[in-house]
Amino acid sequence: MDQFSDEELYQQIRLSERKAFNMLFDRYWKRLFEYAYRLLQDRAQAEDVVQEVFLSFWQKRQGQPITHISGYFFRAVKFQVANSLRNNKWLVAWPEENPVVLEEKEEELQDRDLLYEQLEESIQRLSPRCREVFHLNKKEGFTAREIALRLNISPRTVEHQLHKAMKALRGDLQKFYSLILIFLYL
């Protein structure tokens, strides 16, 4: 079963091959669940997040090609967790296992929206190369070495561009620095 690479399975999935999808699902489900659980501390929510990621992956299988499957899955889980946390309702299980829905304060939602807005504006202010390297690393999950190969630049240049991007973002978002670090490194 493990004789096929992620890329080989992905090519079969793009042709709607369910067996290849099941193999990739089996290969990643446990690790993605553990990652989601570590972020959410809720088994049911973690399962929902991972299921949603795989469902979306299957539905979009013939769309834009994915070049780094592992990075894609972990980024997708991270963003799905962020979306889950951004929702205005939280489920809290009481000892009797009765879920109670709690509303987030409107002010917290506005602060979070402002934070995302400012982050996106700051990213857009980066130089094109810096923005591209940042996007490939933080949003696509590529390593510095993979980015260097892809962009035909040295790994040292990639590290420099990432450092430059983080420094610029920290400067722009000093007020929200601790929250940004949490979201960038989830």
CATH assignment of the domain containing 52: 1.10.1740.10
**pLDDT band at residue 153, thresholds of 50, 70 and 90?**
very high
Distance CA 159, CA 147 (A): 10
Output the DSSP codes for 19-52: HHHHHHHHHHHHHHHHHHHHHH--HHHHHHHHHH
Q: What is the pLDDT of residue 127?
A: 93
Q: What is the pLDDT of residue 29?
A: 92
Q: What is the pLDDT of residue 120?
A: 81
Tens digit of pLDDT for each residue in 37-94?
Answer: 888 888 888 898 999 988 888 888 888 788 888 888 888 888 888 877 776 344 444 4
With respect to residue 1, please indicate whether it lies within any of the assigned structural domains: no
143 and 79 together in one domain: no
Kindly provide the residue ranges of all beta strands, DSSP E only, lying in the chain, ordered along the sequence.
Answer: 89-93, 99-103
Q: What is the pLDDT of residue 175?
A: 57
Q: Which domain holds residue 171?
A: 105-184
Burial class (CB in 10 A: 0-12, 13-18, 19+), 85: middle
Residue with tokens 């591209």: 132
DSSP assignment letter at 92: E
Pick from 6, 16, 122: nearest CA to 71 = 6
Pick from 181, 173, 182, 176: nearest CA to 111 = 176
109 and 43 together in one domain: no
Q: For 8-12, 90-94, 117-121, 174-178, which range has the lowest pLDDT when averaged over its residues?
A: 90-94
Q: What is the pLDDT of residue 91?
A: 45
121 and 55 together in one domain: no
Q: Are 136 and 150 in contact (CB under 8 A)?
A: yes
Q: How many percent of the chain have pLDDT more than 70?
A: 76
36: how many CB neighbours lie within 10 A of its CB?
26
87 and 113 together in one domain: no
User: With a threshold of 0.75, does the pTM exceed it?
Assistant: no
With respect to residue 99, please indicate whether it lies within any of the assigned structural domains: no
81 and 131 together in one domain: no
Cβ within 8 Å of residue 75, ≥6 positions away: 139, 140, 141
73: how many CB neighbours lie within 10 A of its CB?
24
Asked if the model's pLDDT at residue 133 lies above 80, the reply is yes
